[in-house]
Structure 1
Amino acid sequence: MTLARPIATSFNGGELSPRMGGRVDTAIYPVGVETCENFVPTVEGAAVKRPGFEYIRPSRVTAGWLAAFRFNLTQQYLLEFSDGIVRFFTNGERIETSPNVPLELAVPYSAAEAPFISMQQSFDRLYLAHPDHPPAAIVRTGATSFTYEVLELLNGPFADPNGDEAATVAVSDTTGTVTVTATKPIFAAGDVGASIRIEARDFSDVTAWDAGMDGVTVGQRRRSEGKVYVAETPGRTGTIQPIHTSGSEWDGSNQGEDINEKGPFGVRWRYLHDRFGQGRITAVASDGMSATVEVTRRLADSVKTVATHRWAKSIFSAAAGWPSVVKVAFGRLLFFKGFDVVGSVAGDYGGGRVNFATTTSAGLIAADLGFRRTLATEDPVLWVAGDRKLIVGTASKELAVGAINSGAAVSGDNIAADPQSFYGSERVWPAQIGTSTIFVQRGGRKLREAQYAFANDRYVAANMTVWCRHVTRSGIRQFAFQAEPEELLLAVRADGQIAVHPHAPEQEIKGFARIVPGGGGRILSAVTIVGADGLTDELWCLIEREGVRSVEKMAPWRDEGDPLENAFFVDAGVSGIAASGQTHFAGLAHLAGKPVAVLAAGGVVQNITVNPDGSIDLPENAVPDERPFRITIGLRYDATLTTLRPELRTNGETSQGKRQRLVGIVLRLLDTVGIRVGAKGGKLDELIDRTGSDRMDEPVPPLSADSERSVSGGWDRHGQATFVSSDPLPAVIVAAMPKVAVGS
Structure 2
Amino acid sequence: MSVSLIMTNFSAGELSPRLGGRVDLAKYSNGLATLENMFTHPHGGASRRTGLRFIREVLGRDLMPEGSLGSNAGWTLGDGWSVSAGKAGCDGTQIGESVLGRDLGLVEGKIYEIGFKVSGYLAGSVNVSCGTVTVSEPVISDGTYTFRSKAAASGRISIVADAEFSGALESVFVREVAPKARLIPFEFSTEQAYVLEFTDRNIRIYKNGGIVVDEKGDPVEISSPYTEVDLAAIGFTQSADIMYLVHSEIQPYKLSRTSHVDWTMKLVPFTEPPAEWNSTDGYPSCVTFFEERLCFAASPAKPQTVWMSKSGAYENFGISSPVVDDDACTYTLSADQVNAIRWMVSSKKLIMGTSGGEWWLAGGSSADSVTPNSVVVRRETTHGSAPIPPVVVGGVMLFLQREGRTIRELSYSFEADGYIAPDLTILAEHLTHSNSIAEWAYQQSPDSVIWMVRDDGMLIGLTYQREHEVVGFHKHLTDGKFSSVCTIPGPTQEEVWVVVEREIDGITRKYMERLENRFSSEDTVDAFFVDSGLTYDQDVADTVFTGLDHLEGKTVSVLADGAVRPDVPVKGGSITLASPAKVVHAGLPYISNMKTLRLEGGVMGGGTAQGRKKRISHVTVRLFQSLGLQVGYDGDHLERAPFRTSADKVGGAPSLFSGDYEVKFNRGYDRDGQIHIRQDQPLPMTVLALIPEVSVYS
Q: TM-score, normalised by structure 1?
A: 0.75
Distance 1:95 1:19 in 2: 48
Secondary structure of 1:152's aligned partner: coil
Aligned partner of 2:312 among 342, 347, 359: 347
Deviations 1:120-146 (A, max 9, x none): 011111100110100111111212221
Question: Could you tell me whether the CA contact under 8 Å between 1:85 and 1:106 is conserved in 2?
Answer: yes
SS of the residue 1:427 aligns to: coil
Shift in Å at residue 508 of structure 1?
A: 0.8
Extract unaligned runs of 5+ from structure 2.
Answer: 60-177
Contact 2:523 2:656 in 1 (8 A): no
User: Alignment partner for residue 369 of structure 1, among 321, 327, 331?
Assistant: 327
The answer on whether the counterparts of 2:188 and 2:241 sit within 8 Å (CA) in structure 1 is yes
- The answer for the alignment partner of 1:84 in structure 2 is 201
CA–CA distance in structure 2, aligned partners of residues 425 and 141 of structure 1: 36
Cα-Cα RMSD: 1.5
Counterpart secondary structure, 1:646: coil
| Alignment equivalent of 1:645, drawn from 598, 602, 623 | 598
Q: In the TM superposition, what are the counterparts of 1:451-490 in structure 2 within 5 Å?
A: 451-473=411-433, 474-490=435-451
Structure 1 match to 2:90: none
Could you give the per-residue CA deviations for residues 477-522 of structure 1, whole angstroms, max 9, x where no partner exists?
22211112222122221122222122211111121111222x2x21
State the secondary structure of the residue aligned to 2:188: strand
Match of 2:650 among 688, 696, 700: 696
* Aligned equivalent of 2:585: 632
- 1:724 positional shift: 0.5
Letter in 2 for 1:374: T
Map Cα deviations across residues 100-132 of structure 1 (whole Å, 9 max, x no partner). Answer: 632111111122321211110111111001101
Q: Which amino acid aligns with 1:46?
A: G
| Counterpart selection for 2:487 from 522, 528, 545 | 528
Structure 1: distance between partners of 2:684 and 2:594: 14
TM alignment of 1:673-688, pairs within 5 A: 673-688=627-642
Distance in 2 separating the partners of 1:563 and 1:475: 40
Aligned pair partner of 2:319 in 349, 355, 358 = 358
Q: Residue 79 and residue 357 in structure 1: after superposition, are their counterparts in 2 closer, same or farther (change >3 A)? A: same
How many Å separate the matches in 1 of 2:636 and 2:590? Answer: 20
Corresponding residue number in structure 2 for 1:173 = none
What code does the residue aligned with 1:422 have?
Answer: T
Does structure 1 retain, via aligned residues, the 8 Å contact 2:251–2:267? yes
Counterparts of 1:588-607 in structure 2 under 5 Å?
588-607=548-567
- Matched residue, 2:171: none
In the comparison of the two structures, how many residue pairs are matched? 568
Q: Secondary structure at the match of 2:430?
A: helix
Superposed counterparts of 1:567-578, under 5 Å: 567-578=527-538
2: distance between equivalents of 1:100 and 1:53? 25
Q: Which residue of 1 aligns with 2:186?
A: 69
Equivalent pair of 1:136/1:151 in contact (CA under 8 Å): yes
Question: How far has the Cα of 1:38 moved from its partner?
Answer: 1.0
**Residue of 235, 238, 263 corresponding to 1:118:** 235
How far the C-alpha of 1:581 sits from its partner, in A, is 2.9
From 97, 105, 109, the counterpart of 2:226: 109
Between the aligned partners of 1:707 and 1:462, the Cα distance in structure 2 is: 40
Q: Is the 8 A contact 1:593 1:609 kept in 2?
A: yes
1:31 matched to 2:30? The reply is: yes
The aligned residue for residue 110 of structure 2 is none
How far apart are residue 331 of structure 1 and its match? 1.1
Contact 1:64 1:112 in 2 (8 A): no
Report the Cα distance in structure 1 between the residues aligned to 2:413 and 2:613, rounded to whole angstroms: 48
Give the Cα separation in 2 of the matches to 1:641 and 1:154: 58
Pairing partner for 1:386 from 346, 363, 372: 346
**The 10-residue stretch of structure 1 (668-677 or 367-376) with the greater mean CA deviation from structure 2:** 367-376
Amino acid at match of 2:447: E
Deviation of 1:435 (Å): 0.5
Choose which of 498, 511, 523 in structure 2 pairs with 1:563: 523
Other structure's SS at 1:645 match = coil
1:714/1:107 CA distance change after superposition, 3 Å: farther
State how far apart, in whole Å, the 2-side matches of 1:112 and 1:524 are: 14
Query: How far off is 1:689 after superposition?
Result: 3.4
Offset at residue 98 of structure 1 (A): 5.3
Between the aligned partners of 2:666 and 2:453, the Cα distance in structure 1 is 38
1:232-243 to 2 correspondences below 5 Å: none
Q: What do residues 131-163 of structure 1 show as CA deviations (whole Å, max 9, x unaligned)?
A: 010011111121222110111222231xxxxxx
Matched, 1:734 2:688: yes
SS in 2 for 1:583: strand
Question: How many Å separate the matches in 1 of 2:616 and 2:231?
Answer: 50
**Equivalent in the alignment of 1:655:** 609
Quote the offset at 1:418 in angstroms.
0.5
Q: Could you tell me which residue of structure 2 aligns to residue 418 of structure 1?
A: 378
Once the two structures are TM-superposed, the CA of residue 11 in structure 1 deviates from its matched residue by 0.6
User: Aligned runs of 1:4-403 on 2, under 5 Å?
Assistant: 4-60=3-59, 61-97=178-214, 101-157=218-274, 314-337=275-298, 338-349=303-314, 354-359=315-320, 363-377=321-335, 378=337, 379-403=339-363
Q: In 2, distance between residues paired with 1:82 and 1:25? A: 49
Aligned partners of 1:581 and 1:374: how far apart in 2? 68
TM-score by length of 2: 0.79
Q: Which sits farther off after the overlay, 575-584 or 594-603?
A: 575-584
Contact 1:688 1:707 in 2 (8 A): no
TM-aligned CA distance change 1:343 to 1:652, over 3 Å: same
Correspondence 1:664 to 2:605: no
Helix, strand or coil at the partner of 1:322 = coil
- Please state if 1:498 is matched with 2:615: no
| Higher strand residue share | 2
Equivalent residues of 1:63, 1:80 under 8 A apart: no
Secondary structure of 1:670's aligned partner: strand
CA distance in 2, matches of 1:740, 1:549: 48
Deviation at 1:666, TM superposition (A): 1.2
CA distance in 2, matches of 1:549, 1:326: 30
Structure 1 pair 617–98 and aligned structure 2 pair: CA distance change class (3 A): farther
Q: 1:322 Cα shift? A: 0.3
Between the aligned partners of 1:650 and 1:144, the Cα distance in structure 2 is 71
In 1, Cα distance between equivalents of 2:454 and 2:693:
36
Measure the CA separation in 1 of the matches of 2:486 and 2:604: 49
CA–CA distance in structure 2, aligned partners of residues 455 and 662 of structure 1: 46
Aligned match of 1:211: none
1:551 aligns with 2:537: no
Query: 1:678, 1:713 within 8 Å by CA — same for their partners in 2?
Result: no
1:714 CA drift (Å): 5.1
Q: CA deviation at 1:741?
A: 3.7
Name the aligned partner's letter for residue 18 of structure 2.
R
d(CA) in 2 for partners of 1:685, 1:433: 40
1:601-632 deviation line (CA, Å, top 9, x unaligned)? 00011131111x11011012xx45xxxx3111
Deviations, residues 370-404 of structure 1 (Å, cap 9, x unaligned): 12111113201001111110110011110011112
User: Counterpart amino acid of 1:449?
Assistant: E
Question: Following TM superposition, by how much is the alpha carbon of 1:358 offset from its aligned partner in structure 2, in angstroms?
Answer: 1.7
Unaligned runs of 5+ in 1: 158-313
Cα separation, 1, equivalents of 2:391 and 2:587: 31
Tell me, in whole angstroms, the C-alpha distance in 2 between the residues paired with 1:78 and 1:650. 58
Contact 1:682 1:713 in 2 (8 A): no
CA positional deviation for 1:99: 5.9
Corresponding position of 1:198: none
Q: Which residue does the alignment assign to 2:142?
A: none
- The aligned counterpart of 2:574 is 615
